[in-house]
Amino acid sequence: MINLKDPTLFRTENYINGKWVGGSGRHIEVLNPANGTLLAKTVDGNADDACDAVEAAATAFKTWSKVPAKERATYLRRWCELILENADDLGMLMTAEQGKPLAEAIGEVNYGAGFIEFYAEECKRVMGDIIPTVANDRRLQVYKQPVGVVGCITPWNFPNAMITRKAAPAMAAGCTVVIKPDAGTPLSALALCELAERAGIPAGVINVVVGSDAQAIGEVLTQHKKISKFTFTGSTAVGKILMAQCASTVKKVSLELGGNAPFIVFDDADIEEAVTHCVSTKFRNCGQTCVCTNRIFVHEAVAAEFTAKLQHSIAALKVADGFEEGAEIGPLINTQALEKMDALMADALDKGAKVLLGGARHKLGQSFFQPTLLNNISDSMRLANEEIFGPIAAVQTFTTEGEVVEKANATEYGLAAYFFTRDIGRVMRVSEDLEYGIVCSNSGVFSTEVAPFGGWKQSGIGSEGGKEGIADFYETKFHSLGGV
């Protein structure tokens, strides 16, 4: 059992229509990825539970959508305050079920709460329009009205923030939500519901269905006629399937999918700064984020210096159980992720990669993998083309600006990109030429609730965060008022 200050945050039942629902008696075992111990047995919900949640959300929408924006904002602010007050406990739940270091988990809780705070404020600023009339007997008006019930599927790598980033703007806009969290990390989602209930958010406004049958529950959330919008964070392959399912009822869709982020270091870069940010963007959450550095391109003139300093920094990272003091790298989420690292390494070594550091499973066992650094990378290797989603850094070299931009863009993905240079002209050119929804120059830190987060190409549709993040939860209505 996790030693929480408030044990009532530890919930194992689904939250539907303001009630904790036990279900059919089947359960999901939630395991700690650092040691394999059993944390909890949660209810294993099914498609019927999802349908019940949709019906509850549809009923609640009739009243929640009519609540004034200022009043909705008050509910959300209280929810945010409760999350911040319980950040330590929420962080412990996350570290236990997901594995990331505790300090990082608490940071995610605070980050997630920021979306609730931001959209509590933003919903009071969404405006319609009065259009200059085209005739004296007519008035032209544009309304913004909430879209309806929103179906959400969220991932295991950010089990708190990916919920608040979707639910907060939806609820702020006047929509109601049905959320399916990953079955491996349900405790964070259920704890958020407990706090939403304490905040007084009405029954049916937020619903969470945990279930192992992802396909059946996903079909409800993408095809049920009472769901008007669907939003998903996960792999591109799954996103394509869910998008196709949404087409049957022409739902509004937001997708935040995979990435293949380039990290470019030009010959005039501040090498120390570039190394620091490379480590943080590559090894955050053990490399398990969609915006992690995936392909490292370093100008041939500074490659030796950069790689040596990067190796030194990676070697200093502390690999440990997320609850251990000073832990910086926790476990991968499960043994399947570990096996993928093995396969990527085998492929790279077979094709000529050189191991400078790590390259194998960690002595801690379970789902731990050594922080790894490779060079002599070629385009034929899997890790040069696929999303690694683990603690493997692979360095390539380049000669010219045009060459590296072309390489960086040579992918079906377009989520995040990073580059380092002290040439202001190059900053402007490269930021414009990179085909990515998020571009960071001279920094590896960008996530914030006040700015849009979204990808180009096969990295997704739409944005979360910022004013863009709430826009898609409204429908636009044009009212032509005659007989004036």
**Active-site residue numbers?**
256, 290
293-299 and 261-265 beta bridge pairing: parallel
Residue entry with tokens 């096996």: 339
| Long-range contacts at 125-132 (CB < 8 A, ≥ 24 apart) | 126/69, 126/173, 126/470, 126/471, 126/474
20, containing H or E segment = strand 19-21
Neighbours of 336 (CB within 10 A): 9
Place of tokens 């530890």: 10
In which residue are the tokens 């100008």 written? 299
What residues have CB less than 8 Å from 433, skipping those under 6 apart?
405, 409
d(CA 93, CA 191): 9
* Dist CA 27 CA 11 (whole Å): 13
Is residue 272 within 8 A of residue 309, CB to CB? The reply is: yes
Give the helix/strand (H/E) hosting 398: strand 392-398
**Cβ within 8 Å of residue 475, ≥6 positions away:** 144, 145, 146, 147
Contact criterion met (CB below 8 Å) for 71 and 51: no
Please give the structure tokens belonging to residue 193.
């519901």
Which residue has 């950040």 as its token pair?
87
* 287 CB-contact burial (10 Å; exposed 0-12 / middle 13-18 / buried 19+): buried
**10 Å Cβ neighbour count for 483?**
6
